[in-house]
Structure 1
Amino acid sequence: MASALVGPSGSDTLPLQGIRVIDFSMGWAGPLCTRILADLGADVIKIEAIQYPDWWRGVDRRSVYVDAHMYEKAPVFCVMNRNKRGITLDLTRSEGCALAKRLLAGADIVVDNYSVDVLPKLGLGYDMLRTLNPRLVMMSMSGFGANSAHRNCRAYGSTLEQGSGLPRVVGKSDGPPVMSHIAFGDAVGGLNGCAAVLVALVHARTNGEGQFIDLAQIECMMPFAAPWIIVQSTSRKPPRKYGNRHPQFVPHGCFRCAGEDNWIMIAVTSADMWRNLAVVIGRPDWAIDASLMSAEARRDIEDVIEASIEAWTSTRDADQAMAELQAANVAAGVARLPIDLLKDRHLRSRAFMQEVERAFVGLHPQPSMPIREGERPYPIRAAAPTLGEHNREILSGLLGLSDAEIAQLTSAGIIGTKMLSEDDLARTKRKRSASG
C-alpha cells in the first residue's frame, strides 16, 4: 500500500493519490462516497458482475435493452462513477471471490452498500478481510445498520426519507405526508460515509489499525428532523407544516415571474430586509410602519404581503427581479430549471461544469466536485467505466494473471464486458446445474 495521503499544496498531486479503494457499492449512496474519493485522486476499483451489474445502469434485462447497450447509457451511472476503474467478478463463484480477496489484500478502503449479510455470506466480511489486511478500512452502508432491529429491512433513499420524519413536516398545512422523490438518504449517506472513511484512513495511517464502520444511512437523515423533534419535545404540540412559508421569516416563499414557468424565491430574515423589500415592490408605507417590523406581526397579513410581492414579480423576468432585489440587499434567487444550470452565470464563472467524453454516450456535461484547492475545480480525469472495461488492466497489470487465465475466466463467465440478459442468465443457470 502506498504511503501518501495528502499531496503537497499547489502541486499536481491529488490529495488521495496512492490510496486504493475497492468499491462494491451500487446506486447512489455508496458510489457517491467512492466518487468523491476518486475525484480526490484515489484509485477506485468498482466491482460489478455481468450477472448483477450496478442497478443504476438499468434493471431492464430484455435482450433488446441489453443488445443495444442501453445499460451503458444511463446518465446517473455515468455521473456517479467517473474517475473510477471498472472490473467484473462473479463473487458467487470461488474464483471470483478469490480474486476479490487478492485485490482487498492490497487496498486501503473497501465500501459496500448491500444488505448487511451479503458480503459476509460470500466470505468477504470484515472478520475475514482483517486477517488478509489488518490496515483495511471497511465501511458497510446499509439502510439501518448491522446492529439494528430493522437490519434485514430493504431500504432505498425514499424509504429512508420516510423514516427520518421529514415527510410529516414538509408540504402544505392541510396535506398528507410529502415525499421529495430526490432520495435524500442516498446523497446524505454518501457524504457522511466519505467523511467516515477518511477519518478512519487517517487513524489507520497513524496507528496501523484498520476498522469496520457500520454506517446506518437512516441515522444520517436525523439532522433534518432534529429541529422538529426538539420543538415537539418541548411544546408537546405536533409540528406545523408551512409549505413554502417559514416558521420564523415573513415573507418567505416562491413567487411567479413573467413568462411561462418562471419563479423566484424570496426570504426576508430581518427588519432591514423587510424595509428594503417594501420599498422595492412599491409599498414604502410598509417600510415606515412600526407595527410591521416583526415577523410575528407580518404573519397576520401574510396573504396580503404575498399578493403584493407577486404583483411586482409577475411583471418582471426572474433574473431581473433577482437583480433588483439583491441590489437592495434582499435575499432572492431564481428557481432554476435543471437545464438552465448549463448556462447559469454563477456556475460558468466558476468553471463548474466539465465536458466528458464517454463510449456509448459521447460528449456530455458533468458537475465538478464543489471542493477545490485553487481557482479551478479538480479535473474529471476519466469517464465512468464501461462494464468490465479494466478487466485486463487490473487482472494482468495488478494481479499478474496471464492471458490464458484471463481467457479461462471469461469463458467461465466469471468476468466479462457485456451484461447478461434474462435469456443469458437462464442459459447460464441451466449450464451450471447440468455440470453439477
Structure 2
Amino acid sequence: MEKTMKYILPTLGSVAAIALFAFSTNQPPAAVAVERPNYDETFEQLELFADVLARVRSEYVVDVDNGELIEDAINGMLQSLDPHSSYVNPENFRDLQVDTSGEYGGLGMEVTMEDGFVKIIAPIDDTPAKRGGVKAGDFITEIEGKSIMGLSLNDAVNQMRGKPGEPITITVVAEGEEPRELTLVREIIKRQTVKHEVKDGIGYIRIAQFNELADSGLEDAIDSLKAEMGGKIPGLVLDLRGNPGGLLDQSIKVSSAFLDGGEVVSTRGRVSTDTERYNGEKGELIKGVPLVVLIDGASASASEIVAGAVQDRRRGIILGMTSFGKGSVQSVIPLRGGRDGALRLTTQRYYTPAGRSIQGTGIDPDIAVSAIPDDGEDHSGRKEADLPNAILNEDDIDDAEKIELKIDYPPEDFEIDDDYQLQKAISLLKSGEYATQMAELAKAELIK
C-alpha cells in the first residue's frame, strides 16, 4: 500500500490517470447516503478532454509537449478546488520529501502562488532570503530580470534553485512600496528548526517550521534551557511567528511538550463519520511553567494547531496578532509509488480541542500586540480567506459577530528590531500580570 502523508502546509499524467480517479470503487459507510456518480456523464467529459487535447496537439500554432499539457490540465483541475491542492510531478515530489526532512538547496523561503506571482509566506531564519531582506507578504515578480507572470509555482521555484554559491537576482514588491531588486547567493539550506536562548531571565524558544526535526529540537532546547537556568525555567516564550506550518504529527508532538495528554486537534473529512482525534502524549516537559505563545499573520497551519490547543486547554497565553487561518489538511498521495509524482489533495479540516474551525478566520490572540506602531494603515497582510478558491469556514461566522481586538501598539519612535511583542511577552511573564490574565481567561467558555 502506498504511504499517504498528511501535511498542513500553506503551499508549495494521462487521460487514463484521470479516469482512474473518476472510477474509484471506495464507497462511504452504508449509513451515509451519497448520490452515485453518473459515469456516463464522466465518460462524455473525458472524451471532451481527449478531443481538446488531440486538437491542440495537431492544430496549435507551435509544437507542444504532451506531458506538460496533461500536467497543466491536472493542476488546473486541482487548483480550482482550493489554493492548496495541486499535482506534484516526480522531480518535485522528491524535492518535497527532502524539504520536510529539514535540508535542501535554494534561497530559504516558504512560498505560494497568488495573482500570478510568487508570494512569500515567510523567509526562513538564517538563510539568504532572510539575510537579504525578503519579508513575509512580499511578491516575487521577476527572476534575473524576467517576469514570472504565467509561470507555475513549481517552475518559478525551480528557477530560483541552483548550485550553492551561485548568485541570483530577484525583484520583490511589497504592497504600497516600490519594487526592490535583491541579489542573493544560493546555499544548501540546513534548516535550524528550533532555536533557544535566555532573554532577560526568561526562556525563549523559536520554532521556524514543523518539519521532522521540530519535536526533537524542542526537547533539546528545553533540556538546554534547564541546564542554563539552574534546572528551573521561571517562564517560557514559544515563538511561532512567521512559522508557515508543516507536518501534522509534529504539531501534535510539540503540543505534547506543554499538555499532559488530552486532545490536541481533531480532523473531519467529507462525511461526518470521517473524524479522527489526536491526543497528546502524557508527560508534560515543563509542567507548571508559565507559557506565552507568540503568533502573527504569518503563523499558519501547524502553528495554529499548537496555539489553538494551548489556548483552548488554558495552558498559556496567546500574544500577538491574528494568525493566517489555514485550517485544512493536505494528504500527499503518491501515484504509482511516486513514479508518477503525487497528489497534494485537501482531504480534511482540522478543529481545536473546543471544536473551533479556524479555516479562513485564524486564531485570535488572548492579548493583541502589534509589532509595528500604528500609522493608520492595515499591515495585517493577506490571509487564507483572501486566497483564490479558499475553502469557507463552515461555522459561517458573521463579521458582525467578531469581537474587535483591542491592539496594543508600540510607541511611534519604537525600533521594530527591538521586538515589541517579545518585550511584552517577557514583561507579562516576569510580573504578576500573567496569573491575573490566566485567571481572567479561565472564566471564558472554553474547555478546561
Q: TM-score, normalised by structure 2?
A: 0.24
Structure of greater relative contact order (alpha carbons < 8 Å, 6+ residues apart): 1
Choose 1 or 2 for highest CA Rg. Answer: 1
Q: TM-score, normalised by structure 1?
A: 0.25
